[in-house]
């Protein structure tokens, strides 16, 4: 793992662009979370002026010297208003055109950038650390491709009509998810194998270290991603809805149903709570089984398992499915906070 040397005044930024939520934190105390969803922005209409309760962002981006102007709705606003809502479905989400929109919005919301055209260049540009699922990170082409892309990124960005600022990063590092979260574990034992399981929207990542005489080394065979996360719960709700009504349920409404337990359809209330409860325990079991199978015979020799990722909040059963498991404080933020530690070490 990367050794961390902390600079007292580092200019550091960490952005965890998840399949579900983008989480960003900075060394100046900036912090933001929003759904990783974008939609191309249409022109604002009269209703926009009426409704002041909107959360989410309208983001204008101009890349390079004479790049085209792009305009996106990002986060809740995209879910609510966007007609062509784009989620990251692709395993290689960073090659999706919406990735930069989400990342740049998060960067602008968590860092004090110089105004575009102010002539101030590069003084306070922070180092940036982002993550990739463990299995994608292992692929050098993908890891280096993302790093190169972000290191070369220079954009003028305006959020919600504010003056455009100029965003570029002084250094970029790509870190494996789960391993990032590991850096936030407060009470690592001084010996034994400890594991971390990060349950996200679409992926669950596992990482493990072996500690001998206080020295840590990654247990590579226990570092992997599985293709299952909270999205499975939404799929289960949509399937149950189709079974009961014969009709399809749009994903956004399925998410709301996961939270509320029921929904109205053609004037009738449909109770989904029993199906959701059943799906929660089946998904927790499936995730635990796949992770434990991946650990193989080492599973029985794990001293402690730390649980992270927002999914752990929705699958509390997982705690009882791993030996000596503990949920990290603020589990959804664990990767971003771990990445920030790495970014502080990189910053000059
Ligand atoms: N208050 C909350 N806000 C957002 N998500 C929540 C909240 N409470 C629980 N969750 C859960 O957190 C999940 C998202 O977790 P997380 O942000 O760690 O995923 P992700 O990093 O976007 O996904 P991945 O790691 O697969 O890319 C949601 O699917 C939801 O189940
Ligand atoms: Mg994640």
Helices (H), the chain: 46-50, 76-81, 97-110, 134-137, 140-151, 179-182, 231-245, 251-260, 273-295, 311-314, 334-346
User: 253 and 303 share a domain?
Assistant: yes
Angle at the Cα of 115 from the Cα atoms of 111 and 120, rounded to 5 degrees:
100
Indicate which CATH number applies to the domain containing 168: 3.30.420.40
Q: Is the CB of 332 under 6 A from ligand 1?
A: yes
Confirm whether 164 is domain-assigned. Answer: yes
User: 265 and 230 share a domain?
Assistant: yes
Question: Rounded CA gap, 132 and 152, in Å?
Answer: 18
Confirm whether 2 is domain-assigned. Answer: no
Task: Specify whether the CB–CB gap between 175 and 129 falls below 8 A.
Answer: yes
Name the residue among 178, 205, 181 with its Cα closest to residue 334: 181
User: 149 and 36 share a domain?
Assistant: yes
Looking at residue 42, what is its pLDDT? 73
Confirm whether 311 is domain-assigned. Answer: yes
Confirm whether 6 is domain-assigned. Answer: no
* Cα–ligand 1 centroid distance for 21 (angstroms): 6
Q: What total of structural domains would you count in the chain?
A: 2
* Cα–ligand 1 centroid distance for 259 (angstroms): 13
The DSSP bridge pattern shows strands 69-74 and 165-167 to be unpaired
User: 65 and 99 share a domain?
Assistant: yes
* Cα–ligand 1 centroid distance for 110 (angstroms): 20
Q: Is the CB of 200 under 6 A from ligand 1?
A: yes
Task: Specify whether the CB–CB gap between 173 and 129 falls below 8 A.
Answer: yes
Q: Which of 313, 315, 338 to mutate to test the pocket of ligand 1 (most atoms within 8 A of CB)?
A: 313
Q: Exposed, middle or buried: residue 208 (CB in 10 Å: 0-12, 13-18, 19+)?
A: buried
- Which amino acid residue places its CA nearest to atom 6 of ligand 1? 310
User: 171 and 196 share a domain?
Assistant: no
Confirm whether 205 is domain-assigned. Answer: yes
Q: Which residue has the tokens 């662009």?
A: 17
Give yes or no for residue 241 having a pLDDT over 80: yes
Confirm whether 101 is domain-assigned. Answer: yes
Question: Rounded CA gap, 247 and 267, in Å?
Answer: 14
Question: Rounded CA gap, 326 and 291, in Å?
Answer: 16
- What number does the ligand 1 atom closest to the CA of 21 have? 22
User: 195 and 172 share a domain?
Assistant: no
Q: How far is CA 330 from CA 84, 132, 294, 335, in A?
A: 32, 20, 26, 10
Q: What backbone torsions phi and psi does residue 37 show, to the nearest 5 degrees?
A: -135, 135
Given phi > 0 = left and psi -120 to 50 = alpha, else beta, which region is 32? beta
User: 212 and 173 share a domain?
Assistant: no
The predicted model gives 325-336 an average pLDDT of 96
Q: Residue 45 gets which letter from DSSP?
A: -
* Cα–ligand 1 centroid distance for 330 (angstroms): 11
User: 163 and 206 share a domain?
Assistant: no
User: 153 and 300 share a domain?
Assistant: no
Residues 6+ positions from 117 with CB-CB distance below 8 Å: 164, 166
Question: Rounded CA gap, 91 and 201, in Å?
Answer: 12
With cut-offs at 50, 70 and 90, classify the pLDDT of residue 244. Answer: very high
Helix crossing, 273-295 with 231-245: angle to 10°? 140
Question: Rounded CA gap, 342 and 344, in Å?
Answer: 5
Tokens of 318: 């997982």
- Which amino acid residue places its CA nearest to atom 21 of ligand 1? 18
**134-148: pLDDT as tens digits:** 989 999 999 999 999
Q: Which ligand has an atom closest to residue 312 CA?
A: 1
Confirm whether 84 is domain-assigned. Answer: yes
User: 141 and 225 share a domain?
Assistant: no
DSSP structure string for 114-154: PBTTSS--STTPPEEEEEE-HHHHT-HHHHHHHHHHHHT--
Q: Is the CB of 230 under 6 A from ligand 1?
A: yes
Q: Is the CB of 333 under 6 A from ligand 1?
A: no
* Cα–ligand 1 centroid distance for 191 (angstroms): 31
Average of per-residue pLDDT values in the chain: 89
Domain that holds residue 299: 188-327
With cut-offs at 50, 70 and 90, classify the pLDDT of residue 213. Answer: confident
Looking at residue 197, what is its pLDDT? 97
Confirm whether 7 is domain-assigned. Answer: no
- What number does the ligand 1 atom closest to the CA of 331 have? 18
Q: In what order do the strands lie in the sheet with 86-87?
A: 86-87, 37-40, 69-74, 57-63, 155-159, 165-167
User: 59 and 202 share a domain?
Assistant: no
DSSP structure string for 191-215: SEEEEEEEE-SS-EEEEEEEEETTE
Looking at residue 214, what is its pLDDT? 81
User: 203 and 70 share a domain?
Assistant: no
Tokens of 139: 């692929």
- What number does the ligand 1 atom closest to the CA of 177 have? 25
**25-62: pLDDT as tens digits:** 999 999 999 998 888 887 655 555 555 555 789 999 99
Give yes or no for residue 119 having a pLDDT over 80: no
* Cα–ligand 2 centroid distance for 199 (angstroms): 7
Question: Rounded CA gap, 335 and 109, in Å?
Answer: 18
């Amino acid at each position: 793992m990367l050794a961390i040397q902390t600079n007292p005044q580092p200019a550091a930024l960490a952005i965890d662009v998840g399949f579900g939520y983008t989480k960003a934190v900075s060394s100046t105390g900036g912090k933001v979370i929003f759904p990783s969803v974008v939609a191309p922005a249409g022109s604002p209409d009269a209703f926009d002026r009426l409704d002041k309760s909107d959360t989410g962002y309208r983001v204008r981006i101009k890349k390079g010297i004479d790049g085209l102007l792009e305009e996106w709705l990002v986060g809740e606003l995209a879910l609510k208003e966007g007609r062509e809502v784009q989620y990251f479905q692709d395993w290689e989400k960073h090659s999706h055109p919406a990735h930069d929109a989400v990342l740049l919005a998060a960067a602008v919301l968590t860092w004090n950038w110089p105004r575009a055209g102010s002539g101030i260049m590069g003084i306070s540009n922070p180092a940036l650390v982002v993550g990739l699922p463990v299995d994608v990170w292992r692929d050098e082409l993908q890891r280096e491709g993302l790093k190169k892309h972000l290191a070369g990124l220079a954009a003028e960005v305006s959020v919600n009509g504010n003056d455009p600022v100029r965003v570029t990063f002084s250094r970029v590092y790509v870190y494996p998810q789960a391993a990032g979260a590991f850096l936030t574990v407060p009470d690592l034992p001084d010996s034994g194998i400890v594991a971390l399981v990060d349950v996200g929207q679409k992926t669950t990542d596992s990482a493990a270290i072996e500690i001998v005489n206080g020295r840590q080394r990654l247990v590579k065979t226990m570092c992997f991603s599985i293709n299952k996360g909270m999205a499975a719960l939404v799929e289960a709700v949509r399937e149950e809805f189709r079974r009961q009504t014969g009709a399809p349920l749009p994903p956004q409404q399925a998410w709301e149903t996961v939270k509320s337990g029921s929904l109205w359809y053609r004037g009738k209330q449909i109770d989904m709570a029993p199906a959701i409860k059943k799906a929660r325990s089946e998904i927790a079991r499936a995730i635990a089984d796949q992770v434990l199978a991946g650990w193989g015979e080492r599973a029985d020799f794990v001293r402690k398992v730390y649980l992270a990722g927002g999914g752990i909040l929705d699958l509390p059963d997982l705690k009882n499915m791993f030996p000596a498991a503990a949920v990290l404080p603020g589990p959804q933020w664990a990767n971003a906070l771990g990445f920030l530690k790495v970014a502080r070490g990189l910053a000059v």
